[in-house]
Chain A
């Protein structure tokens, strides 16, 4: 071993060179803007197009948008949606989803269901915090989905807008069908006059 190399090693040992060398990165970061943030005290800003938990939406007058057409169910690649539809006896021609389930554990967040929906009843929100101790609560039912839709209505609308699904309120009225064209009062109360 050469004398020069030996001296350098000795000097490094005396001055704790390795420690200073390693701490260099640390000291550099003391004057750096932080990259991580303190979740959950700090939250990240999420873009409008983000695909989070699904929610069901209502029209502005409070009526359910969903007509129970089962198209989301057929569009879903992971078969996590189940819709049970029925006829609303009080409103002729009105079909609605009597039950609606999304197994969010199976969901792959592809957003096809939202695209398939003819009335934009489904939308994705920015909600992603629904971890739980009980896996059963991750089977979202109709009530839960409407709760999500109500709570994150602004997010949902932004999602639909970002994905070019729905325009702002007034435009969307002209843009989409309202199902069905409900006929409120029957015009055929009974057999015609000439037969009674």
Chain B
């Protein structure tokens, strides 16, 4: 009983004894009797019950007899009590259950052969099990199918009104998008208000539907469940690393199903042991890119980029690899190993990331769902949740302390919290006592910070900041979750450190159930760091300049490692490309041209390269510039592991053959290394795994979270005193200053329905959230500026201006506007000013102050060329400045 431990979790329930079929069983008082019975291993049929939510009691299948009661009772709604004598089997119960099945079947169409749930239908199973052959008064509902919603179809003829979809939506996901309605003489499930569905589209209602009443539009009528091959694998959209089942037919991905289903109410419930087992919209409906037509199927080679005939032409693998090897060897011989750089995405598996950094370092010689758990906390443990964001997000609607700050001031708010903790003297004496100098330094640093200023700038009153700080500090267990909103803003690294400060002074660092977590966007960002695919780390998070670790890996790889200071991050790589220090770049799965703003001149930097190798499943903007494009496989076509943000190593299993002639990344890298004269003898990703196992014993914990013990002592005693002052001293805002000309904060961020650029290849997600090219604004602001959905606006920042449509969005706060970062139409990222973090070298470009003004049709025609000219002039000036 993972999610719903007892009916009232606040009270520690007493343990009672009761007898089930003659066996004495102990259980918590007040628990659903059904759970007690199913824990003994007995299977009692139930069609409306799922342990993740409160019993609903509509199907009448879970009947048992309780001594002292005349009629059989429904065990799901009955509560376990001391001294109960329960019988779960018997002919009378069988007949009673059979009657219940007949009742459901009498209004259920017998269209099993055409139904998508055929073979995966609880009602069908029950009809067989109870030998229902005749129906006395069958009638048909004849309700037309509700196809209004995207993604899901509702066929209410088949509905048995079990309410599982409504309950899972309301209780577990807390979205509450479905309701019962009495229409046409029958109770039907419809979206709230009997309209088209407008929710998070997680599809968990589809997963729990025991019949075929809710069907998936993408796999509707295509195949029966028994025709599909089901592979359990790890979702590759975000760092949560949810487990999911990829269902394929030959080389076609038909659908994705979750471990959550009506089937997992029995057994040991191991599938859903660490949560409710559901997946989100990206995982469930964003699979189409795997077998998309846009996938690269052949290696492409360009002879010379400057010549007009130098187009990318399809070339056999052998020839393409030969070209890669020859030209890399040539560049290495001519300009040295430092002229070659590599970039890899965190969407690759651990094995590939490991191999990539080994290839670059040893061979070439250069350096290269969490939200549901929060909701569970709100619901079951009644926790206080403080949500800080510049928009009214879905989670903020459920939180007890939703704090909507002025965009760009999230860091300031954290600063305010630290200050407030110190002012209110909520400091944890035990942990801070060990480092008095560090605490003193921190106190000195925040002395200049004024809560009033912060309150004025963030738009949150001093009292609220104080209250939030005291709630955080006084809670026995408190956790900080932060994501791109904090990390990818100017001073993101500093802000994370401030959060660490906050956790430290309140004693939340290194204590079980507490800590600072960053939620990552790409699935294997944790794995990438662990595998050493970052310039400053060797595998196992060993510092690259750590002599002992360097020796160990140099010996294991049989090659000398490059100099300790030679690593370069993305910004440095681009800088060196521009200056000509880097001649060749090997890009695996990354797309810097499309993701970085134009002001960074990625395009010109990459155009100066002598050799750009791009390895990607799709023809990206970067690949269009490349000399050689190698087709790579997606996660569905290869074996490997991902490490999620909890540190769990999760299996990725191959579910289909590679599309076209594409190859897994590890295969390409192995042959590349062999071509360059190294003996990489890997036959499969298991071979790489066993090498990692030798070098990093205990890394493959297979699903078990690693116990990480933070070592704050080292950090606090070395350099903390010097560092902390600079962190708080400057109360800097965004790079682009807010002024009267540019009153709107433009935020570039993720939509719930998309993840990076990858999901824009998934047609399922594009149906839900298409690339509208429209700016999301608050309705009040739109009214004030006299904008409607039809008008177009001109958005002007320091970097340039663009014309686009607008749409009102309830979650956007007045004074700010939002544009999804997944789409580059219009190229909104080019409006963003860029700030490079001085410590980590990460570019921040997700926030800008902008001016918004409506444009009329004829005016825009005049404005565009002028603006373009102005932009160009500015670009040129910048280039000069750099040179």
Contacts and interface: CB of A to CB of B under 8 A. Distances in A.
Interface of A: 67-71, 73-74, 84-87, 92-93, 95, 118-119, 177, 179-181, 183, 185-188, 191-192, 195
Given A68-B114, A85-B221, A95-B114, A191 B144 contact: no
A118 B115 CA distance: 13
Contacts of B111: 177, 179-181
Nearest to A69: B113
Given A68-B114, A118-B113, A179-B114, 4 more contacts: A93-B114, A177-B111, A180-B111, A192-B195
B155 interface: yes
B227 interface: yes
B224 A195 contact: no
Contact of A177 (B110, B142, B145, B194): B110
**A-B CB proximity, top 8 nearest:** A69-B113, A95-B114, A183-B144, A95-B221, A118-B113, A186-B144, A87-B221, A70-B224
A181 B223 CA distance: 21
Interface string B162-188: 000000000000000000000010000
Contact of A69 (B118, B142, B145, B194): B118
Contacts of A70: 223-224, 227
A86 B222 contact: yes
Contact of B114 (A69, A185, A187, A188): A69
Nearest to A92: B145
A67 B113 contact: yes
B496 to A, nearest CB: 45
B725 interface: no
A92 B144 contact: yes
Given A67-B114, A195-B193, A187 B144 contact: yes
A188 B144 contact: yes
A93 B195 contact: no
A116 to B, nearest CB: 9
A68 B113 CA distance: 8
Contacts of A181: 109, 111, 140, 142
B488 interface: no
Interface residues of B, number: 27
Contacts of A119: 113
A91 to B, nearest CB: 11
Interface in B102-150: 109-111, 113-114, 118, 140, 142-148
Nearest to A185: B144
A42 to B, nearest CB: 43
B222 A188 contact: no
Interface in B205-236: 220-224, 226-227
Contact of B194 (A85, A183, A192): A192
Contacts of A180: 109, 111, 114
B420 to A, nearest CB: 45
Contacts of A92: 144-145, 147
A86 B221 contact: yes
Q: Looking at A69, A185, A186, which has the most chain B CB atoms within 10 Å of its CB?
A: A69
At the interface, is chain A mostly helix, strand, loop or mixed?
Answer: loop
Contacts of A118: 113
B189 to A, nearest CB: 14
Nearest to A93: B145
8 contacts: A69-B118, A74-B224, A93-B145, A179-B113, A186-B145, A188-B144, A195-B194, A195-B195
A188 B144 CA distance: 8
Contacts of B109: 180-181
B113 A71 contact: yes
Contacts of A192: 194-195
Contact of B227 (A73, A185, A191): A73
A183 to B, nearest CB: 4
Contacts of A183: 142-145
A179 B146 CA distance: 19
Interface in B195-210: 195-196
A192 B458 CA distance: 42
A70 B194 CA distance: 34
B217 to A, nearest CB: 9
Interface string B76-115: 0000000000000000000000000000000001110110
A167 to B, nearest CB: 19
Contacts of A93: 114, 144-145, 155
A190 B114 CA distance: 26
Nearest to B110: A177
Contacts of A71: 113
A191 B148 CA distance: 9
A87 B144 contact: no
Q: Looking at B111, B155, B194, B220, which has the most chain A CB atoms within 10 Å of its CB?
A: B111
A119 B110 CA distance: 12
A177 B184 CA distance: 24
Given A93-B155, A118-B113, A188 B148 contact: yes
A74 B112 CA distance: 14
B116 to A, nearest CB: 9
A188 B142 CA distance: 13
Given A92-B144, A181-B142, A187-B144, A85 B113 contact: no
Contacts of A84: 222
Contact of A85 (B143, B145, B195, B222): B222
Given A68-B221, A86-B221, A118-B113, A74 B144 contact: no
A71 B113 CA distance: 7
B113 A191 contact: no
B188 to A, nearest CB: 10
A92 B144 CA distance: 8
A87 B220 CA distance: 7
A8 B782 CA distance: 129
A114 B221 CA distance: 21
Nearest to A74: B226
Nearest to B114: A95
A192 B179 CA distance: 15
B546 to A, nearest CB: 58
B866 to A, nearest CB: 44
Q: Looking at A179, A186, A188, A195, which has the most chain B CB atoms within 10 Å of its CB?
A: A188
Contact of B146 (A67, A73, A85, A188): A188
A191 B109 CA distance: 26
B247 to A, nearest CB: 15
Interface string B672-695: 000000000000000000000000
A191 B142 contact: no
A55 B142 CA distance: 32
Nearest to B194: A192
A23 B114 CA distance: 67
Contacts of A74: 224, 226-227
Contacts of B147: 92
Contacts of A191: 193-196
A97 to B, nearest CB: 10
Contacts of B114: 67-69, 93, 95, 179-180
B710 to A, nearest CB: 53
Contacts of B226: 74
Contacts of A179: 111, 113-114
A183 B111 CA distance: 14
Contacts of B142: 181, 183
Contacts of B196: 191
Contacts of B193: 191, 195
A160 B224 CA distance: 26
Nearest to B196: A191
A96 to B, nearest CB: 9
A74 B113 CA distance: 12
A47 B6 CA distance: 68
Contacts of B118: 69
A181 B114 CA distance: 11
Nearest to B111: A180
Nearest to B223: A70
A70 B224 CA distance: 7
Nearest to A187: B144
A83 to B, nearest CB: 9
Contacts of B140: 181
